[in-house]
Structure 1
């Protein structure tokens, strides 16, 4: 026993024991310096390499991609990342990952530094207390940092707008916010925009704030002509969002974060339809509503007092509702708040009573044209106590405002009648005759032109200038000759005697001429006497 005890206590055994101890210490040291292992799912791993692609926070390496595989359903790539020691607090529920690589968009070009160094994974630590080791990377990098001060709000719109993530939000031309997220709801068929208004501009958000689309170039018809406005460079490339408080309205109370606003299609629409209170009426119109649209104004002597809500008003009647459609229903909203500062009170109940009293006095609604060129109409309210109106108490649960046929429609009917009369006229035949007459006139003018040219040639001949003088001399000679043959002159008496002799000679020669006519050889041979013919007896 003593022999084997001395043999086991040999110093040579200290070497493997020391090696095992050093190896264990190195393993423990390696694990102590390494961080957690996480998995990030990404749509496309283009530009990423296992063992080379880094994970960074504020341009500091905090991990590395160790392996890239496909997900179980083969629809995405999975990045297996080994984080550095001390990074566990960054990996929480709301932490965000995305790939930094060259990108081109409205905001410019980003990620150019990765052309040489290669793409990398960016980590945005969250603020949650719940840790996590599996994440899904963002397809696009966030446009703002999570710790950016300001208020986040939601805008809703059912109109077409070319707004994308990263577009600016402006207040009187100054960029004060940015669009962080754009979502489209299939059920509501509307678009939702998540917007950040940065501090200190978030104090501009109040109860009466209105948001509208800022187009690059917009046209607006005004009484004095066309108003053309040009937006910023960003809005020229696509569209932007602007906001403010409509003129004449109080600012209202400040709002908290995540408030919901309507996004109007234009500044004019935001100003005119930004009134939330009103009294709804139905108009029963016996005329065309072509040109009357949702949002068209309701005017009283040139002052806007309401808005057209629905045209035509679809009230979903049943089979027992009565006769088929004869009058066109239109739903309008009378908005007393538009008269703020012009009337003592804008309370809705008082104005219901006022309007009922005005109806009894002859207040009537009709349609007028605001712009004949664009065929836009509006509802006009005026007093016509002597006009016969279309009246009814209620329609589909709404009170009915009395209406009359507008003078515009009557004028249109008269114009159509005149046009029909003109169309019935034989204008084509008249035009053809006029064309023929013009052609004949052209021919005559051409002949006159030719004749004028010939006269010019004659006048240009030598001696033409002396022709008037020669004519005058000839006329003088003719007058002197005629003077010699005046009554009682010798030449005239001699001429008369000569004429008398010629007349006697003519009578004397007449028998000879008659004889020669009957017998041309009478001058050479004797002429036999012919007896007078005897009449024959009757049988």
Structure 2
């Protein structure tokens, strides 16, 4: 209640009256009580620890008041609330113990540990007894956060594991997956930690970890390639068949290598990006330090020449084919354009050895010296072609043609086209031969051969008939008894022969006859001597001597 102001004085000056405010002592007790309650609430909240929210696709294995939050298998919190968001995502609120609140960093990762069986590993079998729990992998940044998106699959390695972390990009994922090994010289030196599809670039990104003690093997010029499957290639040296390890066949894998000329390149930094090539051949093609581009124009078919085909000079690869398309040709030109890239250092050392190391090499100078391209066959079986660069001073062009600002290297037919030309020349020579007369003679000879064959057939028929008659004769009874008759005849012949032997009768008769013949011969000899001495003795007889002269005994 305020006092009634007095009536204003008649003087010109007036007094200023202000009301006095007073705070009642009654409000002291409620204010102290509120402050104490607030402090108790704050103290209770601090003692309980921070509450974080983690979002998962599903709440399988998660229960309020039962599922623990662990870090390195040490309990650091407990799930308090499990709810469903409007986007049908599972929202899990976890109370973290105050002593471990510093583990909640912006890049920390959460995932549910449950039994998992995959081609690369088997994990979480212990949860069959203890039940599922949520694992926390502390991040590396210092920024604090209380909202996270959980991982559906456990990470391969922790963020705190030291090593070199790189990104590999590829056109497609292939068989390379999370957990696939990274090899160097066939030895496992790292793993794939994550696989992501970049929608904007339409490429697949692989986050890989190279162990710390092998990090120096990766240089800026290192090449990575996929070695998850069988690799069969056909080239000028035949077929090549490469097989990776059994683990790489099952889980996939990648290999890296650094060419010798890039061994001294700077070491790779954490977070660098490399291209993951499809195979080792593609990675080796990338070793070329190509710095010169040119165009080849072919009048004939180049079937068998593909992108990435090798370009060789004196048998040494110095480049590759980049593109084959009519988009590179000038309007109205029907020749097939081929875009190539070359490592000019090889040509420079061969054609211009007087140039200094830092002096630029102009491909036009090589063309003026007779450099030209030729298609060559890399494999007769597969029909693959490559481009061979050769020097021929007799084929120097009058002017150097350019297409889209690039010099055109003169080309000559080769490969299949050259073989076709040779076949055409051979066929032309064959057409010039007198084939009609030759064929007519062959026809006459064929007719004679036909008659000869007919006569031979008749002869064979006669021989066959004779053989049949001989078979019939041999099969008859008389022929079967012929052996017994022959044996009988031989026995008789043996008896006759025995009669002619020294003990046979015929032998004695023959001896007596011979004695008589000898006696007759002596008588005739005596008669001839008598007639010779006295021819008239045949008429008058011989005279008998008085005393006979005895004859000497034989």
TM-score when normalising by structure 2: 0.67
Runs of 4+ aligned structure 1 residues displaced above 6 Å come to 23-29, 339-343, 388-391, 416-422, 444-450
- Report whether the alignment pairs 1:35 with 2:49: yes
Q: Secondary structure at the match of 1:64?
A: strand
Cα 1:27/1:311, change in 2 over 3 Å: closer
Q: Secondary structure at the match of 1:379?
A: strand
- Report whether the alignment pairs 1:255 with 2:255: no
Partner of 2:134: 121
- Higher deviation after alignment, 118-127 or 378-387: 378-387
Partner of 1:51: 65
Shift of 1:223: 4.9
Indicate if the aligned counterparts of 1:64 and 1:81 stay in contact, CA closer than 8 A.
yes
- Report whether the alignment pairs 1:361 with 2:373: no
Shift of 1:452: 8.3
The residue correspondences of 1:178-217 to structure 2 (distance < 5 A) are 178-217=191-230
RMSD: 3.9
Give the distance between the partners of 2:215 and 2:221, measured in 1 at CA.
Answer: 14
Shift of 1:358: 3.1
Indicate if the aligned counterparts of 1:336 and 1:348 stay in contact, CA closer than 8 A.
no
Q: Secondary structure at the match of 1:351?
A: coil
Cα 1:207/1:231, change in 2 over 3 Å: same
Give the distance between the partners of 1:416 and 1:160, measured in 2 at CA.
Answer: 49
Give the distance between the partners of 1:211 and 1:230, measured in 2 at CA.
Answer: 17
Give the distance between the partners of 2:415 and 2:85, measured in 1 at CA.
Answer: 72
Indicate if the aligned counterparts of 2:184 and 2:257 stay in contact, CA closer than 8 A.
yes
Q: Secondary structure at the match of 1:147?
A: coil
Shift of 1:203: 0.6
Q: Secondary structure at the match of 1:211?
A: strand
Cα 1:128/1:253, change in 2 over 3 Å: closer
- Higher deviation after alignment, 161-170 or 128-137: 128-137
Q: Secondary structure at the match of 1:179?
A: strand
Partner of 1:351: 361
Q: Secondary structure at the match of 2:61?
A: coil
Which of 85, 89, 95 in structure 1 is aligned with 2:102?
A: 89
Shift of 1:247: 4.4
Indicate if the aligned counterparts of 1:391 and 1:400 stay in contact, CA closer than 8 A.
no
Shift of 1:222: 5.5
Partner of 1:336: 344
Shift of 1:55: 0.9
Shift of 1:52: 1.2
CA displacement, residues 360-379 of structure 1 (integer Å, 9 cap, x when unaligned): 23221121110121111111
Larger radius of gyration: 2
Q: Secondary structure at the match of 2:99?
A: coil
Partner of 1:166: 179
Indicate if the aligned counterparts of 1:165 and 1:180 stay in contact, CA closer than 8 A.
yes
Cα 1:174/1:257, change in 2 over 3 Å: same
- Report whether the alignment pairs 1:79 with 2:92: yes
Shift of 1:448: 9.1
- Report whether the alignment pairs 1:399 with 2:413: no
Q: Secondary structure at the match of 2:417?
A: helix
Q: Secondary structure at the match of 2:183?
A: strand
Give the distance between the partners of 2:286 and 2:470, measured in 1 at CA.
Answer: 79
The residue correspondences of 1:238-317 to structure 2 (distance < 5 A) are 238-247=251-260, 249-312=262-325, 314-315=327-328
Cα 1:337/1:151, change in 2 over 3 Å: farther
Pairs aligned (count):
424
Cα 1:41/1:290, change in 2 over 3 Å: same
Indicate if the aligned counterparts of 1:40 and 1:134 stay in contact, CA closer than 8 A.
yes
Partner of 2:382: 374
Give the distance between the partners of 1:334 and 1:135, measured in 2 at CA.
Answer: 51
Q: Secondary structure at the match of 1:115?
A: helix
Give the distance between the partners of 2:303 and 2:138, measured in 1 at CA.
Answer: 58
Give the distance between the partners of 1:225 and 1:48, measured in 2 at CA.
Answer: 59
Cα 1:417/1:51, change in 2 over 3 Å: farther
Which of 165, 172, 187 in structure 2 is aligned with 1:152?
A: 165
Partner of 1:458: 472
Partner of 2:420: 412
Which of 328, 334, 350 in structure 2 is aligned with 1:326?
A: 334
Indicate if the aligned counterparts of 1:273 and 1:307 stay in contact, CA closer than 8 A.
no
Give the distance between the partners of 2:463 and 2:43, measured in 1 at CA.
Answer: 119
Give the distance between the partners of 1:301 and 1:174, measured in 2 at CA.
Answer: 36
Indicate if the aligned counterparts of 1:42 and 1:79 stay in contact, CA closer than 8 A.
yes
Shift of 1:188: 2.7
Listed as ranges, the gaps of 5+ residues in structure 1 are 1-22, 423-429, 471-539
Which of 132, 156, 168 in structure 1 is aligned with 2:145?
A: 132
Indicate if the aligned counterparts of 1:53 and 1:120 stay in contact, CA closer than 8 A.
yes
- Report whether the alignment pairs 1:70 with 2:84: yes
Shift of 1:34: 1.5
Shift of 1:215: 3.4
TM-score when normalising by structure 1: 0.69
The residue correspondences of 1:381-530 to structure 2 (distance < 5 A) are 381-386=389-394, 392-406=400-414, 408-412=416-420, 415=423, 454-455=468-469, 457-458=471-472, 460-462=474-476, 463=478
